[in-house]
Structure 1
């Protein structure tokens, strides 16, 4: 892993240390911070009463003991659910305290921002807006308002921003870029459309976010993105051979469920 050690790759904890603890819970993010992750990734959705919560799926059925769409539930409804026990406790040997309901209840973005602010070191945030949504541009509006409360909505320079906003929706990123031009934006991709094959990105997007399948099948695309002047943040990178490939291609960030293992492979632990 000589090349990986030479290249300064940011290690981003995908939904927290989500291999070891239930995704998007305080337990997962505390574990990621303990493991030394450089950044935390989260998805955000808007509840029926206007709160941003960290939930990936449109519905809560998979990751809680409840049912229903996040957008149709109020925060109090979500707070009554268990977002932890769906994941086998044998997977949490290193986190015996996630039997504590406060660590596995629904996590608001506000609480996650507080955790990062109290961490004592710089930890970046990669926040993904989920689409399509019944709330249209309200997600971005509420997100930027909340970032403003923490002084994170207007960094002096994009390259020094501790927050970036990601989306598969070019329209979402365009809204963010128009309202907060110094917050970096990441265009997430499951596949490469013909008009983007030369390395260009949609208007408003500054960083490319290809999935690992793209990187495996089209490694030359990463070079085209770099030649076009874009940084590359790859998701979701869990296997050692994929970490090695990303390092060899010179990507700037690896988004992974296994931050501790990736940091170790990169020679940083």
Structure 2
């Protein structure tokens, strides 16, 4: 059973043990065995692709510039934001250069969809990057720019809109909240070549639920812990 365990995606790198969406967090996620790193992208006022989850810097900033909307700040202004452990907000280009495993680029701001996809293409990274989003319109933008780049739909629950979009966009994956995982749906989608990802995996019960649902991937804030729990549970049930 351990030969077919789900792969672990590091959520914002390794958000539980390192400042989220930073180069340090991405490195920690890789070191801890994540098969892929998930990160979030917004667009600054001057057109830079910033790797940050929220539309504002307020929650994650600990010094320097501690407030402001990403879309209203320039890249130099965004670099005034100080994050924990001496980290700063990276650009998407910096992140893609630093990360050595597959990357799931989640488009938070629809305006970032086209330039982020163009950056991935220009960098020649289309073979190891999946463009993901809750926003179906943003994924359609990705498809217009790059018909062959992998896209993934994210949805809290398997709504008709989400499952329809998977087919319409020829998506490679559908990410669903763990509590909404339906083993029958997972099996049906994966038989059709669509990987299902369970998120967020935060507890042993989450790991067990996702594992029993038969997902191909699970997104965890602490990828090292998640891998250990996966192997422990799989060994116990073998």
Query: TM-score if structure 1 supplies the norm length?
Result: 0.78
Residues 195 and 29 (structure 1 numbering): CA distance in 2 closer, same or farther, change over 3 Å? closer
CA distance in 2, matches of 1:71, 1:194: 31
Q: Select 2:103's aligned residue among 125, 134, 142.
A: 125
Match of 2:7 in 1: 10
Which residue of 1 is the match for residue 113 of structure 2? Answer: 140
Give the alignment partner of residue 180 of structure 1, picking from 137, 146, 152.
146
CA distance in 1, matches of 2:172, 2:38: 17
State the match for 2:168 in structure 1.
Answer: 203
2:67 is paired with a residue whose SS is: coil
Structure 2: distance between partners of 1:52 and 1:192 = 29
2:90 counterpart residue number = 107
* C-alpha separation in 2, matches of 1:195 and 1:54: 27
SS across alignment from 2:166: coil
1:192 maps to: 158
Distance 2:136 2:15 in 1: 27
Partners in 2 of 1:200 and 1:169 — Cα distance?
10
Instruction: Tell me by how many angstroms 1:37 deviates.
Output: 1.2
Task: Tell me if 1:76 matches 2:76.
Answer: yes
Aligned CA distance change for structure 1 residues 74 and 251 (closer, same or farther; 3 Å)? same
Match of 1:235 in 2: 199
Query: Aligned residue for 1:152?
Result: 125
Q: Whole-Å Cα distance in 1 between the matches of residues 14 and 29 of structure 2?
A: 5
Q: For the residues of structure 1 that align with 2:59 and 2:49, how far apart are their CA atoms?
A: 19
Q: Which runs of 5+ in 1 are unaligned?
A: 85-97, 154-160
Structure 2 partner of 1:263: 227
Give the CA deviation at 1:6.
3.2
**Offset at residue 192 of structure 1 (A):** 2.9
Give the aligned CA root-mean-square deviation in angstroms: 2.1
- The answer on whether the counterparts of 2:40 and 2:107 sit within 8 Å (CA) in structure 1 is yes
Residues 200, 225 of structure 1: alpha-carbon distance in 2 compared, 3 angstrom cutoff: farther
- Ranges of 4+ aligned residues in structure 1 off by more than 4 Å: 194-197
Equivalent residue, structure 2, for 1:20: 17
Report the number of matched residues: 228
Measured in 1, the distance between the counterparts of 2:132 and 2:80 equals: 29
Aligned equivalents of 1:196 and 1:146: distance in 2? 26
- Contact map agreement 1:7 1:250 (CA 8 A) in 2: no
**Structure 2: distance between partners of 1:29 and 1:196:** 28
Structure-1 separation of matches of 2:122 and 2:149: 15
TM-score, with structure 2 as normaliser: 0.87
Q: CA shift at 1:124, angstroms?
A: 0.3
Q: Is the 8 A contact 1:41 1:128 kept in 2?
A: yes
* Aligned partners of 2:5 and 2:230 also within 8 Å: no
